[in-house]
Amino acid sequence: MLKHDYMQVSQDQPIYSEAPLQLLLFVDGRPKSRQYVQRIRAYLKELQTKYSFELQIIDIGQQPYLAEHFKLIATPALIKIHPEPRQILAGSNIIAQLKNSWPRWQAAVDAYLKLQSDFQERLDDNARTTLPKSTIRSVAVSAELIRLSDEIFSLKQEKEHLQEQLHFKDRVIAMLAHDLRNPLTAAAIAIETLQSNYNLETGEFQRLKPSMTAHLLKQARNQTKIIDRMIADLLQVGCGKDIALPIVPQKVQLGQLCLDVLEELGDRYTAKSQKVETDIPNDLPDVYADPERIRQVLVNLLDNAIKYTPECGKISVAGLHRTTQKVQFTIGDTGPGIPVENRDRIFENHFRLQRDEGTEGYGIGLCLCQRIILAHYGQIWVDSAPNNGAWFHFTLPVYPS
């Protein structure tokens, strides 16, 4: 659909005319065609002293959508738009073509006037008074219809986008209320346990071993990080794809960053008796990336791996010095995998597989991962693991030595 701003068509006569013959002359601003256009207009003006017709001059520089509407491939061009059928004269000999076509055009006008007269004679006096004086549709009306159809198309797209956003908002509110409850409850229990066992006079925790105190503090800290991550993910995806994702790249040890995230999520995969295997070479080069952003990617991918891997399943983490410029990282699981037909769509904003509708989550994690990796000029994709699970791969640039 063409996008444009409506502009009034310039013309030699009023837009609505009693003349049954209507012509459009398309011109442009090229200096070499200016004299040619002047000759055409002079000839048409001479014809107007003998014949009645409506002429409208259209500058395609101001209204290019009209040239597209009439399927013009060259200008200047003269078009007879009424009576039908439409006829287009173009090229370097428009005047000669016009001289040849004019008798046929006048014959078409006579036939149209006779048809209109015969039709009106069949009507009674009351019906005749309701007939419009002219059935010619001006090109200005056509232009306005094109503009309005474009606006309707844009409004429909905007409506669909707003409906999608409202649906997403409703889903997020419902899921957020559900998903925040678990980490909030866990953090609250840890903090309340510490508080109830803390002696203000001695400054010590009573009835709690140092190891248990450290565990509860770590639990509270980890759960608040989870809450913070959930809110941050929602805010970032909510900004839309058109908003640039800010990154602050620096030298990052990707392998160590991944091990830190695994330790942070340790309670989760331990609770499901899952086995985590790592294959991160000691000589894996550092990458040039934003550590906080890449942490988000690792947390989202590992969180999904833990979520979809069954109890006693296996999660694999591997690093590979793919080329001198790229490092590849892979996170695999033994879950249900991703169907081939959905491997591209899985990275769309809040797209979820039908089987996952009852699983907690917003369908935004992988979309955010893709945005982050693309912001680093890397790639992210998924394929099947040998054990029927899923392997998520992403690449990052090597830190220049």
- pLDDT at residue 246 is higher than 80: no
| Mean pLDDT, rounded, of the chain | 78
Q: Within 10 Å of residue 16's Cβ, how many Cβ atoms?
A: 15
Helices and strands counted in the chain (H then E): 11, 14
pLDDT of residue 239: 55
DSSP assignment of 276-302 equals: EEEE--TTPPPEEE-HHHHHHHHHHHH
Kindly state the average pLDDT of the residues 297-326. 90
Q: Which residue has the higher pLDDT, 168 or 350?
A: 168
pLDDT > 90? residue 13: no
For domain 155-238, give the fold.
Answer: Helix Hairpins (1.10.287)
Most confident of the following: 112-116, 209-213, 214-218, 328-332: 328-332
- 156-202: pLDDT as tens digits: 888 887 887 777 666 666 656 656 776 788 888 888 888 888 877 77
Task: Identify the pLDDT of residue 376.
Answer: 93
Lowest mean pLDDT among 48-57, 78-87, 130-139, 292-301: 130-139
With a cut of 70, say whether residue 337 has pLDDT above it: yes
The span from the CA of 70 to the CA of 86, in Å, is 10
Give 276's Cβ-side CA count (13 Å radius).
23
Q: What is the pLDDT of residues 358-397, one digit of tens each?
A: 444 434 678 778 888 999 999 999 988 766 788 999 999 9
The yes-or-no verdict on residue 274 having pLDDT over 70 is: yes
Domain coordinates in residue numbering, the chain: 10-148, 155-238, 250-397
Position 14 pLDDT exceeds 50: no
pTM above 0.75, yes or no: no
Which residues have CB under 8 Å from 218's CB, separation 6+?
none
Whether pLDDT at 131 is above 90:
no
Q: Which residue has the higher pLDDT, 387 or 264?
A: 264
With residue 381 as reference, give the H or E element that holds it. strand 380-384
Distance, in Å, from the CA atom of 103 to the CA atom of 107, rounded to the nearest integer, reads 6
Whether 237 has a pLDDT exceeding 90, the answer reads no
β strands within 190-237, DSSP E: 198-199, 204-205
3-state DSSP assignment of residue 178: helix
Q: What is the token pair recorded at 220? A: 């509270």
Q: What dotted CATH number matches 250-397?
A: 3.30.565.10
pLDDT tens digits for range 288-305: 999 988 998 998 899 889
52, 21 in Cβ contact below 8 A?
yes
The pLDDT value recorded for residue 241 is 52
pLDDT at res. 238: 57
d(CA 138, CA 55) in angstroms, rounded, equals 10
Would you say residue 329 has pLDDT above 90? yes
Structure-block tokens of residue 100: 């040849």
Phi, psi of 78 (to 5 degrees): -115, 130
pLDDT (tens digit per residue) in 42-72: 999 999 888 888 888 888 878 777 777 777 7
Q: Is the pLDDT of residue 31 over 50?
A: yes
Which has more confidence, 147 or 78? 78
Report the CATH number of the 10-148 domain: 3.40.30.10
Q: Is 378 helix (H, G, I), strand (E, B) or coil?
A: coil
Which pLDDT value is given to residue 75? 84
Q: How confident is the model at residue 342 (pLDDT cuts 50, 70, 90)?
A: confident
Report the distance separating Cα 165 and Cα 159, nearest Å.
10
Task: Give the C-alpha separation, 91 to 87, whole Å.
Answer: 14
| Cα 57 from chain centroid (whole Å) | 39
Burial classification of residue 81, based on how many CB atoms lie within 10 Å of its CB (0-12 exposed, 13-18 middle, 19 or more buried):
buried
In DSSP notation, 141-193 reads HHHHHHHHHHHHHHHHHHHHHHHHHHHHHHHHHHHHHHHTHHHHHHHHHHHHH
Which pLDDT score is estimated for 58?
A: 86
Range list of β-strands (E), 200-272: 204-205, 250-252
Phi-psi region of 400 (alpha: psi -120 to 50; beta: other; left: phi over 0): beta
Neighbouring C-alpha atoms within 13 Å toward the C-beta of 297: 30
